[in-house]
């Protein structure tokens, strides 16, 4: 009788897991209006004061080269690099400095790895971009906030010198954009501005003056060559008299000579603040609500023929939230946020990184103090990837290397499941299914499974079983142990270990576990 009772319990649990099959319609041919995806949809924004750690000075950072190569193998291109952010506006130039000198800020529990208070750079600072993989495209920021045109011009001259050098050209690393200033809508009384009188019109006038001087250095060129990138506002506003897309266009920025070289509108955008918790930010409807607020600006930008990018983005501002930005469940958020951003008109998302930031996808150098509270580590922590990196791997394989893949979001009537289909030359090739339900280790709730039946429409449905790759996440609160298709990327060299595992599934019985991502291959 004991064995019978145990059998009944197991049977009940199995039946409950599949009590309902979720039907998901998948177009076999790309619908009109499907979004064309850049292979570098996932790109990186680097806090400028940490740049030498990322690139390496005397030699390339071997770990970084490896983890970037993992992505390049899947898309044909390495991620773009935007180098700037907060410390961009704290940077000055001195030709006597080889790479950089920084005035350190004091670490705290809340900010274990703060940005530098000031940065002075020399020619070598820009030249080490040659250490990036061939094919890398770079956006570099110069100082606007200090109101020192000489500093901006000297930086731009050095940038132009580095990227015009034969060594850089042989390395295949190119300068795409110059960014003049970071988050000018946040310039306040603490840096000598008046928050009452600092308006979008005054910003446009100051930007125009600086950009005109930068243009004279040759770092930005009419016709073929680098252009301007900006304005990189921190806040989202839609009014004509505010720091917004409509605001800069109404203020006439595109009618100025340097403004005619502004081809990409960069918006900074985060999902949450440092106090948020994982179960909140991964919610499917909240991700969509967060990104659709950008639609009015995207429409205005596109109407002027400019590209719209998230020039700095990530989960929670302030370097991330503890037990949210650094754990397994954030891979769910990262992938859905990235792919949905493309659906609303974002052509590229630069995920912000530093050294020791909680939300880093990549920790590029050895750490000696905790990223959680700044306390000394008992042993140094070698370079490593964090869970968000696994989402980048999935996105890279879903997008592929054709350079012309398109995507649509699947209409899934379930608040805990999202999905996307991917097409090559109009034909269905891949799909992604994402579970937003968080499973936590040691909790009282067992890990659930949803059975999904694929309903193919508009053509001849695939016959037989399909192959799939699984992003296994041990639990939403795990910091390591993720496996992409059976492989781990957690090693100190950043290279994959283990054998690739493809699984087979019937199209009408695809099992998606809680806190899991599946890539379906057709």
Q: Find the CATH number of the domain harbouring 456.
A: 2.60.40.1180
Q: Are residues 104 and 74 in the same domain?
A: yes
- Predicted TM-score (pTM) of this structure: 0.95
Query: For position 15, what pLDDT does the model report?
Result: 42
The pLDDT value recorded for residue 191 is 86
Domain end point (choices 350, 375, 399): 399
User: Which of 94, 128, 102 has the alpha carbon at shortest distance from 50?
Assistant: 102
Listed in sequence order, the DSSP H helices in 198-244 are: 200-215
Q: Which residues contact 349 (CB under 8 A, 6 or more apart)?
A: 41, 42, 43, 309, 310, 313, 337, 338, 341
Range of the domain at 448: 14-34+408-521
Cβ-proximal residues to 319 (8 Å cutoff; 6+ apart), any chain: 111, 113, 274, 354, 357, 358, 359
Does residue 318 sit in the same domain as residue 442?
no
Q: Which two tokens stand for residue 59?
A: 């030699």
**Which of 399, 420, 438 is where one domain is finished?**
399
Cβ(104)–Cβ(355) under 8 Å? no
Q: Is residue 2 part of a domain?
A: no
Kindly state whether residues 244 and 358 are assigned to the same domain: yes
- Does an H or E element contain 476, and which? none
Q: What is the CA radius of gyration of the chain?
A: 24
Angle CA(225)–CA(128)–CA(184) in degrees, nearest 5? 60
For residue range 194-236, list pLDDT tens digits in order.
999 999 999 999 999 999 999 999 999 999 999 999 999 999 9
DSSP symbol at 317: T
Residue 281 falls inside a structural domain? yes
Same domain, 256 and 390: yes
Of 500, 489, 517, the C-alpha closest to 68 is 489
**Pair 44, 30 in one domain:** no
What's the pLDDT score for residue 276?
Answer: 84
Block means of pLDDT (10 residues each) for the chain, 522 residues, are 40 49 97 97 98 98 98 98 98 98 94 96 98 98 97 98 98 98 94 93 98 97 95 97 98 98 98 88 98 98 98 96 97 98 98 98 98 96 98 98 97 98 97 98 92 93 90 98 98 97 96 98 96
Q: State whether 446 and 378 are in the same domain.
A: no
Same structural domain for residues 310 and 454?
no
Q: Do both 170 and 225 map to the same domain? A: yes
Residues 214, 301, single domain; the answer is: yes
Residue 35 DSSP SS3: strand
Whether residues 327 and 362 share a domain: the answer is yes
State whether 334 and 472 are in the same domain.
no
| 9 within a domain of the structure (yes/no) | no
Q: Does the residue 3 lie in any domain?
A: no
- Residue 389 parent element (H or E): helix 387-399
Considering only CA atoms, which of 473, 324, 328 is closest in space to residue 386? 328
> What's the CA gap between 298 and 238, in Å, rounded?
10
What's the number of domains the chain is made of? Answer: 2
Element (H, E) at 397: helix 387-399
**Does 8 reside within a domain?**
no
Q: Is residue 512 part of a domain?
A: yes
CATH code for the domain of 297: 3.20.20.80
Residue where a domain stops, chosen among 347, 376, 399: 399
Structural domain contains residue 489: yes
> Residue 190: its pLDDT value, please?
82
- Residues 479, 386 contacting (CB under 8 angstroms): yes
Question: Does 108 share its domain with 21?
Answer: no
Cβ atoms of 467 and 518 closer than 8 Å: no
Residue 179: is the preceding peptide bond cis (ω within 30°)? no
* Long-range contacts at 420-425 (CB < 8 A, ≥ 24 apart): 420/339, 421/26, 421/27, 422/37, 422/398, 423/29, 423/30, 423/34, 424/400
Residue 90 CA to residue 49 CA, distance in Å, equals: 9
pLDDT at position 12: 39
Q: Is residue 105 assigned to a domain? A: yes
């Amino acid at each position: 009788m004991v064995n019978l009772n145990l059998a009944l319990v197991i049977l009940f649990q199995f039946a409950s897991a599949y009590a309902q099959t979720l039907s998901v319609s998948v177009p076999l041919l790309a619908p009109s209006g499907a979004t064309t995806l850049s292979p570098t949809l996932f790109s990186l924004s680097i806090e400028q004061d940490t740049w030498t750690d990322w690139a390496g000075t005397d030699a390339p950072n071997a770990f970084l080269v490896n983890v970037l190569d993992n992505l390049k193998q899947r898309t044909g291109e390495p991620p773009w690099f935007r180098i700037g952010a907060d410390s961009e506006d704290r940077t000055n130039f001195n030709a006597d400095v080889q790479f950089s000198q920084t005035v350190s800020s004091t670490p705290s529990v809340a900010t274990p790895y703060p940005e530098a208070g000031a940065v002075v750079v020399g020619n070598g600072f820009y030249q080490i971009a040659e250490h990036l993989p061939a094919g890398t495209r770079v956006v570099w920021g110069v100082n606007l906030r200090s109101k020192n045109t000489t500093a901006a011009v000297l930086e731009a001259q050095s940038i132009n010198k580095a990227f015009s050098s034969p060594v850089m050209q042989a390395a295949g690393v190119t300068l795409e954009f110059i960014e003049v200033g970071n988050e000018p809508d946040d310039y306040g009384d603490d840096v000598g501005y008046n928050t009452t009188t600092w308006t979008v019109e005054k910003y446009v006038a100051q930007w125009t003056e600086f950009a005109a001087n930068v243009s004279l250095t040759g770092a930005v060129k009419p016709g073929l060559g680098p252009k301007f990138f900006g304005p990189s506002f921190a806040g989202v506003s839609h009014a004509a008299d505010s720091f917004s897309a409509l605001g800069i266009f109404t203020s006439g920025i595109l009618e100025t000579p340097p403004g005619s070289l502004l081809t990409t509108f960069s918006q900074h955008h985060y999902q949450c603040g440092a106090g948020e918790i994982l179960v909140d930010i991964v919610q499917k409807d909240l991700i969509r609500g967060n990104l659709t607020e950008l639609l009015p600006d995207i429409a205005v930008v596109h109407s002027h023929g400019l590209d719209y990018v998230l020039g700095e983005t990530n989960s929670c501002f302030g370097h991330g939230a503890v037990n949210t930005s650094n754990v397994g469940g954030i891979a769910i958020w990262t992938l859905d946020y990235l792919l949905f951003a493309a659906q609303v008109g974002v052509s590229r998302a630069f995920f912000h990184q530093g050294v020791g930031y909680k939300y880093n996808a990549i920790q590029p150098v050895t750490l000696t103090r905790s990223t959680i509270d700044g306390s000394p580590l008992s042993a140094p922590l070698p370079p490593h990837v964090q869970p968000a990196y696994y989402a980048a791997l999935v996105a890279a394989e879903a997008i592929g290397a054709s350079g012309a893949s398109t995507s649509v979001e699947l209409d899934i009537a379930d608040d805990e499941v999202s999905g996307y289909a991917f097409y090559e030359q109009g034909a269905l090739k891949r799909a992604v299914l994402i579970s937003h339900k968080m499973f936590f280790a040691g909790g009282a709730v067992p890990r659930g499974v949803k059975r999904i039946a694929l309903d193919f429409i508009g053509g001849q449905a695939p016959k037989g079983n399909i192959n799939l790759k699984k992003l296994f996440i041990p639990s939403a609160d795990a910091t390591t142990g993720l496996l992409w298709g059976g492989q781990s990327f957690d090693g100190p060299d950043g290279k994959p270990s283990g054998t690739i595992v493809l699984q087979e599934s019937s199209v009408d019985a695809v099992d998606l576990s809680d806190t899991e991502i599946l890539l379906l291959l057709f």
